[in-house]
Structure 1
């Protein structure tokens, strides 16, 4: 590789691609040279704010140019990036901020009618490590520690470019570049620590296998807080000189308009995105002929979807892949030239220099350069996930065909996928258990024609409670990210359990 760290990649891309378009965000269009300059200004502001190599810097915002610049600026200053899910409520965000020890937070102003700053403050959590909150917008609370993005950048004027480049040069490839928080079966979010060199190597491979090219126009609908959005999106584009077109909210009309107006050629995303695109009643009124590359995964991919993308939209390359945060987001991937049946029914073969095997129970085990350093400050969880021989136990159950293609068949952890978002029953159960009228609860995934899967809760009311399904769903929408909210609630007298007290979810799934 030509870069040893993400800061080095940013500077390299600014020099190599220069006046080529880098980011299109609404009416704002900037070149790679301008992106490099903006990232250096953001890094200078981080240095002025006292950010040191290894400090955690969090970002809680949708896909925008500001996200790209602030994130890359923080990483250029040597920080470890902690992206927060934009669907988090204040209490969920505060938990990750507290446990990561983030010193600085970049946060959106009002997004989808919600003030993220107000949401965080309402949570009332103690965040002793959090020193600065920078708000993307024209206003910020008039009190110590808060600043607008504009005023924060102005503070960096006291730091010269040589100081910024000296700091960037001190960032070694073996250092952590980010901590991606992902929940396990315990329901407690765990932070997968990934290094610069792991990230760069993985997405150089991803770009090569996908066929991403210089000048491609890439609509990034996958959220930046997710490995797929940040790394297969921003990092891959920096490596290849593609144009980033971030889209803050998934809306099929906006996707169609963006493809047509910006001549989008690359559109990764979950199957639900592409299905809604194909089925849109006004699709024929948009020119979608520029689309040439689709990468999908995260759920079952119907063969018909692959065939329709090729036949109806003329997409030359449709690929599927499988990954998880603990393996830098990528484990297997189909190859260009694979038959449609292979692409639809499997997640492809291991990427180069990756070992994959199945345990006697069928669990997918992975070993390679991309396996995380461990969970942040959680040795017990790390030891449970990565064995003494370096095999990562994914928690997914799969089968391998004769050609080595992997098909995921089940999830050891009971996790289900809602429109591309991983939903973890144990975490949802913990949140539902906070409701004063709930005595016991279990959550499973059930099929949904639009989202693939959604949650269904089996709940036991406390004596005398008159809680209805609508009441609990409405309460859930206030207390947890939307994709976690159960779409159905069934009240039961008691949950089926085995002799050791574990809920028998198989029995719940078998209920008529």
Structure 2
């Protein structure tokens, strides 16, 4: 079902960036990879690891663009050399196989270089979302016992190091943050060094001599194996304190090779990296999928829809993936008539309970993207569980699982429900995490004795395809009847004036709970909340109709970019208190 790639691979490649030294021809042998005079020499490489994926792509197409970040454009040969040098510098700083290094920085070429460099020496990467606050980042660093942290201080005016110290204690004589005893170094990508901050240039200067690898050493400096941990990904935290999801090299490579094959992603594809690399899908369906296919990952640090539309054309983007809000914003920013010189991606990939057919139609009509894929995933299942094959007509919101992935839908007692009946979604397969990092209690709650992951999502399974309805915890009860927010959101999203919508349940003295909807109107459209309530009356049972629809100029979001239902509930409760004359 894949798309055959027929491009000639001709792209302009500027001279090597001096900030990524040590670049020269790669060996043509997979089992004897050597890059540059100042970087690590590696013997045997396990084939199904992220580092091996990069090495193989560098061997096959050394001069093709691998990662683009504004004016920084790295070929596969340059990326492998830079990552290998970064890995060597980490080992010189004391990082060894299995140690954790954290990245608290926006999407960039250096983010990719650091993560891949860590993989080259078997270190584990801990991504931290740039929207995380100091206490949240300190929690991740403390629970993972990360030894090294990379930041981009000053990004969007954010002082990451200062924010971390405010949350976890000031610097000490031998530690950058006293409240994080395992953290030995903070490396800043662009800032000048000081007593407690190491600059990027300082770190790279440590990679001055070749470091032969002894694979027999007990605590070795060596590439990882298939079963070694690649990432400890943070859950979004929307259902409580964030936990660390353990994902391994072999499972990630298998998942995203399968996904790339289903989506037809090949060496001609250029993927726009809008979704943060701290997010499982953004990292793996973006960077890893591009590297595995020999394609190009184009990093976007700050999403601005107008700028993104320009980059889609200038960078000849072929694959655009992200949550529904990404496409809603791009559609709103698109000119009334498409410019003749505008480039059109061939494939759009999205997935969420709020995806509605009207949005998919607008993706085709306004953005001109012919093929659309919907799917479902969660961090605990490597970011991907199901995905449709690319379709050029109306796309179903139900999708089949990846090969080798099993699905069940069960009731509250754990019994399988009849086909077409809603219940909790269970997933089992190679994509499922091995557990939460050093959290046996949380792991036992999520994974049962038979290896089934209890997702907490409500779905319907029909003819082998899964359609997600909602989160179990987001359902509310109106007068004894269950209401799933996504069902109401689907109806509201069909209104031509609605750009984005979210529904929450709030306490009600008579009914127990009632629904409140929040909507962001589409640009250039006018609508009232009462008009949207009436729109719902024509499509929903009375108990499902929201008691009111509140219009917003912008939707509040959690770190993963999803609407923050917690913030919306708090807003509704505040309005309720004001109406009662309290506060």
Q: Into which bin does the TM-score normalised by the smaller protein fall?
A: 0.7 to 0.9
Q: What does residue range 67-82 of structure 1 map to in structure 2 within 5 Å?
A: 67-82=111-126
1:321 aligns with 2:382: no
Summarize deviations over 1:250-303 as a string: whole Å, max 9, x none: 110111110111111111011111122223253634744331011001342121
Deviation at 1:85, TM superposition (A): 1.0
Distance (Å, rounded) in 1 between the aligned partners of 2:458 and 2:73: 44
Deviation at 1:25, TM superposition (A): 1.0
Give the aligned partner of residue 392 of structure 1: 453
Question: Contact 1:90/1:116 (CA < 8 Å) preserved in 2?
Answer: yes
Distance (Å, rounded) in 2 between the aligned partners of 1:133 and 1:30: 25
Distance (Å, rounded) in 2 between the aligned partners of 1:265 and 1:271: 18
Q: What does residue range 65-464 of structure 1 map to in structure 2 within 5 Å?
A: 65-125=109-169, 126-140=179-193, 142-144=194-196, 146-158=197-209, 160=210, 162-163=212-213, 169-183=222-236, 187-282=240-335, 284-285=338-339, 287-337=341-391, 340-342=394-396, 345-346=397-398, 348-361=399-412, 362-401=423-462, 403-414=463-474, 446-449=517-520
Give the aligned partner of residue 431 of structure 1: none
Distance (Å, rounded) in 1 between the aligned partners of 2:46 and 2:232: 24
Question: Contact 1:289/1:313 (CA < 8 Å) preserved in 2?
Answer: no
Distance (Å, rounded) in 1 between the aligned partners of 2:317 and 2:223: 37
Please give the secondary structure, in 1, of the residue aligned with 2:319.
Answer: coil
Deviation at 1:328, TM superposition (A): 0.7
Please give the secondary structure, in 2, of the residue aligned with 1:267.
Answer: strand
Distance (Å, rounded) in 2 between the aligned partners of 1:122 and 1:357: 45
Deviates further, 353-362 or 185-194: 185-194
Structure richer in helix, relative to its length = 1
Distance (Å, rounded) in 1 between the aligned partners of 2:129 and 2:272: 19
Please give the secondary structure, in 1, of the residue aligned with 2:235.
Answer: strand
Give the aligned partner of residue 490 of structure 1: 573
> Cα gap change, 1:390/1:290 in structure 2, threshold over 3 Å: closer, same or farther?
same
Please give the secondary structure, in 1, of the residue aligned with 2:181.
Answer: coil
Please give the secondary structure, in 2, of the residue aligned with 1:407.
Answer: strand
Distance (Å, rounded) in 2 between the aligned partners of 1:380 and 1:404: 32
> Cα gap change, 1:353/1:10 in structure 2, threshold over 3 Å: closer, same or farther?
same
> Cα gap change, 1:291/1:358 in structure 2, threshold over 3 Å: closer, same or farther?
same
Unaligned runs of 5+ in 2: 1-44, 170-178, 413-422, 476-484, 490-501, 505-512, 523-555, 578-583
Distance (Å, rounded) in 2 between the aligned partners of 1:446 and 1:39: 47
Please give the secondary structure, in 2, of the residue aligned with 1:279.
Answer: helix
Distance (Å, rounded) in 2 between the aligned partners of 1:248 and 1:286: 28
Summarize deviations over 1:455-500 as a string: whole Å, max 9, x none: xxxxxxxxxxxxxxxxxxxxx99x9999657252533899xxxxxx
Flag the structure with larger Rg. Answer: 2
Structure richer in strand, relative to its length = 1
RMSD across aligned positions (CA): 3.1
Please give the secondary structure, in 2, of the residue aligned with 1:490.
Answer: helix
Distance (Å, rounded) in 1 between the aligned partners of 2:164 and 2:269: 38
Summarize deviations over 1:228-269 as a string: whole Å, max 9, x none: 111111111110011111001111011111011111111101
Aligned pairs, number: 441
Please give the secondary structure, in 1, of the residue aligned with 2:369.
Answer: coil
Question: Contact 2:97/2:221 (CA < 8 Å) preserved in 1?
Answer: no
Unaligned runs of 5+ in 1: 426-441, 452-475, 495-512
Query: TM (normalized to structure 2)?
Result: 0.70
Question: Contact 1:44/1:164 (CA < 8 Å) preserved in 2?
Answer: no
Distance (Å, rounded) in 2 between the aligned partners of 1:480 and 1:408: 19
One of 31, 41, 50 as aligned partner of 2:75 = 31
Question: Contact 1:257/1:286 (CA < 8 Å) preserved in 2?
Answer: no
> Cα gap change, 1:489/1:148 in structure 2, threshold over 3 Å: closer, same or farther?
farther
Distance (Å, rounded) in 2 between the aligned partners of 1:87 and 1:493: 29
Deviation at 1:338, TM superposition (A): 7.7
> Cα gap change, 1:275/1:165 in structure 2, threshold over 3 Å: closer, same or farther?
farther
Give the aligned partner of residue 438 of structure 1: none
Summarize deviations over 1:168-205 as a string: whole Å, max 9, x none: 75511111111111156761211110110011000001
Distance (Å, rounded) in 2 between the aligned partners of 1:243 and 1:122: 38
Deviation at 1:359, TM superposition (A): 0.7
